[in-house]
Structure 1
Amino acid sequence: MQEMISNAKGSRSEQTRKRIEQTYLNLIFEKKWDRITVKELCSRANITRGTFYQYYGDIYELMEQIQNSILQEMSRKYKELSGNPRPPFPIEEFIDRYEVEPPPLLLFWFDFCRAHKTAMEALLDPHNGDPYFVKKLKNILNEYIEAMMDNDGLPRDGLRGYFVRTVAELHFLSARLWLESEGENALTAEEVVNLLNTMRVGAGYLTYKQMITAKTGDKTPV
């Protein structure tokens, strides 16, 4: 009986925490994240200020906990996906062995955005979201894009830094556009992933052409 009471309390506590976080995220669509007051949050969530302070010291701690939860989950999953890289292969075998289908690392970004739609849409909002969260997220994205390029067998040359930053920015842009899209003409996650994947495939092919040309001097298109 005591265990049942404890579980019920834990369940109610978790529901209250989720209601506070969801209400806060919804308010970000209306107002800059650090301008939202505890008073208006409590009013919108239909809770007392005392209830809020049972869980969070202030708005900043609330935002920090939301961000940390998202970043930790994303980092953990990316590490799992990056744990089994494909063995490298000679550049001459690129055409036969290069995998043109979107890799799991690319697919996961949109699966994650879909699973955390409200949070990601609010936190990535260019007007009311937190730019420091974007910076933290970019660090994670840069690491996984590097891992994706390593899996593709692409060299760590001078162009790589530009590619990583460009693809990371496209992740944010495509995610925002996709999350905001509605109606019959809205793209599916798979369609957006395929658009992003064209840049990955193009980068691989250009690298292949450059390396083959450097070896053979043959500039004839393949």
Structure 2
Amino acid sequence: MSEKLDRRKKYTRKVLKESFISLLAEKPIASITVKEICEIADINRSTFYTHYSDHYDLMEKIEEEIIEDLSEYLNSYSFTIDEESLQMTQKLLEYITRNQFMFQTLLSKNGDPTFEERLMEIAQSFMIKNWGSANQLDEQQSRYFSTFVVSGAINVIKDWIEGNMGKSPEEMAVMINHFANYGVSYLE
């Protein structure tokens, strides 16, 4: 019986998330109502409130889930080895590809600006931990370098998503890693 309830809860949350993201793609969160989310999800409002306190809570839970997935994923790799760095970047891009609409929406003007900041913080701390000390950079240099690389990578990824992912995750991973490691000499 509890397995059936768990499946039902998962399904309800999934439908609510999808409905919310589809609305967020069209308009800012301040213009979205719980009533609209429930109508699209075909779920009554009392069910919504058993899972989330409001639509801002729903958005926060979606973002937390993504942040947790990415953190877990990043921490399963060691960034000091070039090949592993490339594989990690490719796997992250594959994750983004599988969730393209969600990332496209959350990183859009209607999304929460703190989401992008949280993504940057995770990537920067990971990079500092795994790359800075290996390359004998002091703390300040590591912070600046990671800011430079991560903000560039995030903006390249945003552009890639907006351009309907014209290149494969593998091609993008190679490009991003080359830009990060060799800068413009990659283009020569």
Following superposition, the deviation at residue 146 of structure 1 comes to 2.2
Aligned 1:17-96 pairs, distance under 5 A: 17-82=13-78, 85=80
Tell me if 1:132 matches 2:114: yes
Which has the larger displacement, 168-177 or 156-165? Answer: 156-165
Say which of 103, 115, 127 aligns to 2:98.
115
Aligned 1:116-195 pairs, distance under 5 A: 116-125=99-108, 127-150=109-132, 153-157=134-138, 159-182=141-164, 186-195=166-175
Q: Which has the higher helix share?
A: 2
- Alpha-carbon spacing, 1:163–1:11, altered in 2? closer, same or farther (3 Å): same
Q: Is the 1:105–1:144 contact (alpha carbons within 8 Å) kept by the matching residues of 2?
A: no
Q: Is the 2:80–2:131 contact (alpha carbons within 8 Å) kept by the matching residues of 1?
A: no
Mapped partners of 1:73, 1:101: distance in 2: 18
Unpaired segments of 5 or more residues in structure 1? 87-98, 206-222
Q: Deviations over 1:39-67 (max 9, x none)?
A: 11111222211121121111121111111
Give the aligned residue type for 1:164. Answer: S
Q: What TM-score does the superposition give when structure 1 sets the normalisation length?
A: 0.72
Q: Is the 2:19–2:41 contact (alpha carbons within 8 Å) kept by the matching residues of 1?
A: yes
Q: Which has the larger radius of gyration?
A: 1
1:200 matched residue in structure 2: 180
Mapped partners of 2:178, 2:53: distance in 1: 46
Mapped partners of 2:94, 2:164: distance in 1: 17
- Alpha-carbon spacing, 1:12–1:162, altered in 2? closer, same or farther (3 Å): same
Report the aligned-residue RMSD.
2.5
Unpaired segments of 5 or more residues in structure 2? none
Mapped partners of 2:177, 2:52: distance in 1: 41
Aligned length: 183
Mapped partners of 1:102, 1:132: distance in 2: 26
Q: Which 4+ stretches in 1 moved above 6 angstroms?
A: none
The share of aligned pairs that are identical, in percent, is 27
Following superposition, the deviation at residue 85 of structure 1 comes to 5.0
Give the aligned residue type for 1:109. Answer: L
2:88 matched residue in structure 1: 105
Following superposition, the deviation at residue 160 of structure 1 comes to 4.0
Following superposition, the deviation at residue 201 of structure 1 comes to 2.4
Q: What TM-score does the superposition give when structure 2 sets the normalisation length?
A: 0.84
